[in-house]
Amino acid sequence: MPGGIDFSSNDYLGLANHTGIRQTMVQALQNGVPLGSGGSRLLRGNHDQHEDLEAFAADFFGTEAALFMSTGYLANLALLTTLPGRGDIIVFDAYIHASAKEGIHASLARHKKFAHNDAQACEDAVKRARAQGADKIWIVVESVYSMDGDLAPLADIMDIADRFEAYVIVDEAHATGVHGPDGRGLSCAFEGRSNLISMHTCGKALGQSGALVTLSALLKDYLINTARSFIYTTAPPPLAAVAVQAALKVVRDEPERRQALLDLTQYAHRVFPQVPGSTQILPLIIGDDGAALALAEGLQAQGFDIRAIRTPTVPRNTARLRMSITLNSTAQDIDALALAFNA
């Protein structure tokens, strides 16, 4: 069991223990919703709860269709091993999540990395890909980066995609439920475009499990019938789909939660002015792996659950404490952490 004041989880809105979601799940069980799916979704594992969630999510995120998958890892793997094909080129941010990198390296498409959050470097890479005769170009970014907490220049990325007829895949893992209008993510301004695919994980701000891919109905059908990590995986439990839909309703119906988190995040940035950016992820850069680990262990001994992030997760000599702001902590907890950190 985790212990200490929560400065490490991704349960940003405190929904992992939300009473209303818990009651919804209990009621679903009493109404006979199965605990398990019983198989893959193309066999007997497809349930009404999956399809109800996907319809609700498509409406919530403002997209044509949504596909529910077991994890964000499998969703990224499905997208990047299925959509880009031989003759295509994937252009990706250097700091993209490990699950996306796994999908990229397993893809039949060629790939090219560009400097983190550098729109000009992205454009240069896309230009080279087009000059090399790529059939299709796929740009892969996160909207909020999980280790640095900074934001992708999505407007610039979409402009590049439009000018060079490229597709954009946005991992919204750390934005869903927190950022964008009504917590719909930072790509929501571009939803509905045929060249945009977004992936919203359900295990972070939504407090549940699984992932929702938002995309066109045509691409959804293509993934269902060709993505191996969808076809050959047991479907998520129907009860999980119920929980995710309930969480999305909380995000929609309780905007005060999101505002409270944003207010607490602003407070944390005032207390830790050395951390750039404005999101709920604050990297406290230490540098040396051993020093970061020792500092984390010392803070944990004082009752703070904060973790050291070291190579290879982050570049060498950038080991850090990843401070995560959630509604499981308070302004007083942030003050106490700052005192302990600076002691």
What gap in Å lies between CA 327 and CA 194, rounded to an integer?
Answer: 36
Residues designated catalytic: 10, 97, 142, 146, 171, 174, 204
Contact in structure between 173 and 142 (CB atoms under 8 Å)? yes
Say how far apart CA 101 and CA 106 lie, in whole Å: 8
Q: Classify strands 110-114 and 89-93 as parallel, antiparallel or unpaired.
A: parallel
CB 321 within 8 A of CB 307: yes
Amino acid at 31: N
Closest CA relative to residue 134, chosen from 109, 114, 163, 97: 109
Would strands 304-305 and 5-6 be described as parallel, antiparallel, or unpaired?
parallel
Q: Give the start-end residues of each E strand in the chain.
A: 5-6, 65-69, 89-93, 110-114, 137-142, 167-171, 196-201, 211-215, 281-287, 304-305, 307-309, 319-324
Q: Which residues are CB-contacts of 308 (< 8 A; sequence separation ≥ 6)? A: 286, 289, 292, 293, 295, 296, 319, 320, 321
- Distances from the Cα of 259 to the Cα of 75, 127, 186, 204, 338, angstroms: 29, 40, 16, 17, 23
Tokens of 16: 């992992």
